[in-house]
Amino acid sequence: MTGADLDGPGIDRRRVMAGSLAALASIVALAEPARAAPASARPNPARPIPAQWNAAPTMQLWPDGPPTGGFAPIPLPIPEAPPVFLHNVAEPYLKVFRPARSNGRAVLAMPGGAYIFVSIDNEGAELAQALTARGYTVFVLVYRLPGEGWAGRADVPLQDAQRAMRLIRASARDHDYDPARIAAIGFSAGGHLAASLATDFAEPLFAPRDALDRLDARPFVTGLIYPVISMSAPITHADSALRLLGPKPGDALVARRSPAAHVGPDTPPTFIMHALDDPAVPPENSFEMLQALRVAQRPVEAHFFEEGGHGFGLGDPALPAHGWLDLWTAFVDRHAAA
């Protein structure tokens, strides 16, 4: 596994990624062009992976190797990408962040990256720091990327998310949280993965390996943060759909991996957040998921902010969107008490 991006404080990951990919439009097509980032927001390509990430314990998902093969490492199509855009993930894993004092709950966090990389800084290490301060045990998932040669590419990230949830549930006693109080949260393409886990947690995607695979993979609540939901034009994020489904997916495959179409009576309570000025993933993705949850009469709370853009993680303290984490943890509190 190779490292590849670091979104530091004040860096908008969407701008970093989109600006780089625009220069390689023949390789990867962005949904919309990026705005120019100010000089103060340009990343330092040599900036290292955060120390807290390196210090966190690692849990391997598949000790005997993933359930599908075909992995073929490829170059990251982003020049001078910082080291925290992780790619070429041959062995997916969890990074474990423990609080000083547990509140009895855990979170499975799934960073974004258009299914091209896994952005572990502001949607991983920084999120974990904020949540452990509130008592959560946080597990950040570095999942396999579907465009890296894997057979059955459309199932690969969800295989890892299901296995991760089961592993977290099995580890509850060791880490002092309630196995029935494990939330999931995802950002951008990781939001698509979180929504897929929420709607298809029981979908059989591989032959069971061990006792873990008999455990429930359903989160008790889910957070979808500027998520990709639809795999259909015009509202999908083109890169995410291309990497997950391939260049010419059939209608059945598109529908299978559009989680709003799979909302049902067992879909967990869901929190949705999106900025209305998001230039990469249209907020219509979140509108679609909100409507599906309302039609299914599932508990849902949605927040749409005027400003924020995309890939902002915890958000700019100067903008109202920065308050989303307080709103999400309050949502978790209410449903944990139910």
* Distances in whole angstroms, Cα of residue 58 to Cα of each of 54, 61, 95, 142, 235: 9, 10, 5, 10, 36
Contacts of 66 (CB under 8 A, 6+ apart): 91, 92, 144, 150, 156, 159, 160
Mean pLDDT, rounded, for 107-133: 97
Q: What is the predicted pLDDT for the residue at 20?
A: 35
pLDDT band at 247 (very low <50, low <70, confident <90, very high): very high
Q: Which helix (H) or strand (E) holds 255?
A: helix 251-256
Q: Give CA–CA dist 232/184, Å, rounded.
A: 24
44-50 mean pLDDT: 67
| Mean pLDDT, rounded, for 210-228 | 97
Q: Determine which of 18-32, 112-126, 284-298, 313-327 has the lowest per-residue pLDDT on average.
A: 18-32
Average pLDDT, the chain: 88
Q: What is the pLDDT of residues 61-101, one digit of tens each?
A: 999 999 999 999 999 988 888 899 999 999 999 999 999 99
Reduced to 3 states, what is the DSSP secondary structure of residue 33? coil
pLDDT at 126 over 80: yes
Q: Kindly state which CATH superfamily the domain 13-337 is placed in.
A: Alpha/Beta hydrolase fold, catalytic domain (3.40.50.1820)
286-298 average pLDDT score? 98
- Taking Cα atoms as reference points, which of 260, 288, 264, 270 lies closest to residue 331? 270
> How much is the pLDDT for 82?
87
Predicted pLDDT of residue 28: 32
Q: Tell me the whole-structure pTM to 2 decimals.
A: 0.87
Mean pLDDT, to the nearest integer, of 103-107?
98
Task: Answer whether residue 43 shows pLDDT above 70.
Answer: no
d(CA 199, CA 186): 14
In the chain, % of residues over pLDDT 70: 86
